[in-house]
Structure 1
């Protein structure tokens, strides 16, 4: 078993797509089931498979189904460069934080048009793959 992708329900696909494009996602394809719904399949360049799906269902009550979702984490090669690019694109990332101390990961938070929180993470050079089982041994 493995995780295939995360799927977000969005209220306005035409507003959400430019936001995720500014983050660096590219559209791989669309599915239109015929009931007015649209599913847009996204990934980052160089990713081997889909990583995010945006789902728009016009007329459905709310995009927020359930209350357990917290955030999506996205790895940035260089957080400073990513924050500059996002700011230049009109997005508003938060300040750089060091949740693991000065030698741990650098993070910044961003919120999409529907209020979904996104954590941007730059891992220390000695931990390029992020959190692994070795971190819990």
Structure 2
């Protein structure tokens, strides 16, 4: 069987510069840009500690403004310390929502953020000792 893995998520955005400002304030770094014709372009991003791209922002002027709600739900991003992340995001004017405890007081801490096009982002801090990411053990 071939080995497969997710490469990245791609968002179509209304204003590439505005969205790029939002995602770089969130901590992403730009890897590169591609002009794809007819005024369309894309930017590939990653977090500094990631080995490869994890997000692509695409602007296609001919497609008009983005209308969120066609089935996409949200992007989840793991953070080391949620309180520090929220402070940084608040200082950058990004307006994160209050901390939630969806798994109870000993589970993960989360907060939500909305990008300029209305895409929802869930920030997650795992409790001490939890493996990075969601695994089958989370459903045992």
Measured against the shorter chain, the TM-score band is over 0.9
In structure 1, runs of 5+ residues without a counterpart are none
Structure 2 distance, partners of 1:65, 1:108, is: 20
Structure 2 distance, partners of 1:19, 1:87, is: 12
Deviations 1:68-123 (CA, angstroms, capped at 9, x unpaired): 10000001100000000000111100000000000000000000000000000000
Out of 88, 91, 94, which is 2:91 matched to?
A: 88
Out of 19, 27, 30, which is 1:16 matched to?
A: 19
Structure 1 distance, partners of 2:101, 2:133, is: 14
- Structure 1 runs of 4+ aligned residues shifted over 6 Å read none
**TM-score, with normalisation over the residues of structure 1?**
0.95
Structure 2 distance, partners of 1:88, 1:11, is: 24
Structure 2 distance, partners of 1:66, 1:104, is: 29
Q: How do 1:104-123 residues align onto structure 2 when only pairs under 5 Å count?
A: 104-123=107-126
Q: How do 1:35-46 residues align onto structure 2 when only pairs under 5 Å count?
A: 35-46=38-49
Q: How do 1:1-137 residues align onto structure 2 when only pairs under 5 Å count?
A: 1-64=4-67, 67-137=70-140
Aligned residues: 137
The 3-state SS of whatever aligns with 2:104 is coil
Q: CA RMSD in A?
A: 1.3
